[in-house]
Amino acid sequence: MAKQIKIREAVDKDLRDIVTVWKRNIKTITSASDIFDLFRDFKKYFFVAVSTVSNSKDGDSVIGFVGGAIRSGHGHISGIAVDKEYRTQGNGKSLLNTVERDFLAKKLEKVTLEVRISNRGARRFYEKQGYKRAYTVRRYYADGEDAVVYAKEM
Ligand SMILES: CC(C)(COP(=O)(O)OP(=O)(O)OC[C@H]1O[C@@H](n2cnc3c(N)ncnc32)[C@H](O)[C@@H]1OP(=O)(O)O)[C@@H](O)C(=O)NCCC(=O)NCCS
């Protein structure tokens, strides 16, 4: 049966899956309760990528998400991940573009994010989406790793 990936707004019942995908893919100390708080405050900036199998009775399964937020008056990407077997198929880009469109609709013309300095794959991904390296925050993460802050003017 053909599988299709769709991007849609996140709803309350997706929260458990978002936490699972977040924890499975992002090296983070963000706790489930931090994710709940972000979701409660910024739900309209959360989107999920779901795999649907046509003619199947099974529901959609969440294979990726993006969590946006508003920070200091601009758009912010709190987290984005796509499960391994669904990567490099354009799903990350679709998720990011979807939340960016929402930011723009709310006149938020700048988007920022932090990423681990060692996360070369994600950094390349963001650079391909037009994000520019802004500055480095030394020892930003609890394990002592530096963060690179990226920004995009839309
Ligand atoms: C970062 C991530 C979300 C990208 O998702 P994805 O679905 O693989 O991305 P896409 O397929 O939409 O890729 C878009 C572009 O980025 C490029 N890209 C994606 N991952 C890349 C990587 N690891 N190295 C180099 N380029 C990469 C793709 O080749 C593609 O380029 P193109 O537009 O020239 O074809 C995914 O790799 C992931 O979940 N990583 C683990 C979690 C993570 O590190 N999140 C970021 C920190 S919060």
Q: What is the pLDDT of residue 56?
A: 63
φ, ψ at 74 (rounded to 5°): -135, 170
Residue 92: its pLDDT value, please?
98
What pLDDT, on a 0 to 100 scale, did the predictor assign at position 121?
98
How many angstroms separate the CA atoms of 153 and 14, rounded?
30
Q: Read off the pTM.
A: 0.96
- The pLDDT value recorded for residue 113 is 98
pLDDT tier at 27, thresholds 50, 70, 90: confident
The Cα–Cα gap between 9 and 67 comes to 11
Q: How confident is the model at residue 32 (pLDDT cuts 50, 70, 90)?
A: very high
> What confidence score (pLDDT) does residue 58 get?
67
Q: Which atom of ligand 1 is nearest to the CA of 89?
A: 11
Nearest ligand 1 atom to alpha carbon 121: 23
Domain boundaries, the chain: 3-108
Contact 74, 108 (CB under 8 A): yes
* CATH superfamily placement of domain 3-108: Gcn5-related N-acetyltransferase (GNAT) (3.40.630.30)
Query: Considering the chain, what is the average pLDDT of its residues?
Result: 94
At 86-97, the pLDDT tens digits run 999 999 999 999
CA dist 127 and 124 (Å) reads 5
Residue 90 Cα, ligand 1 centroid: separation in angstroms?
8
Residue 53 has pLDDT above 90, yes or no: no
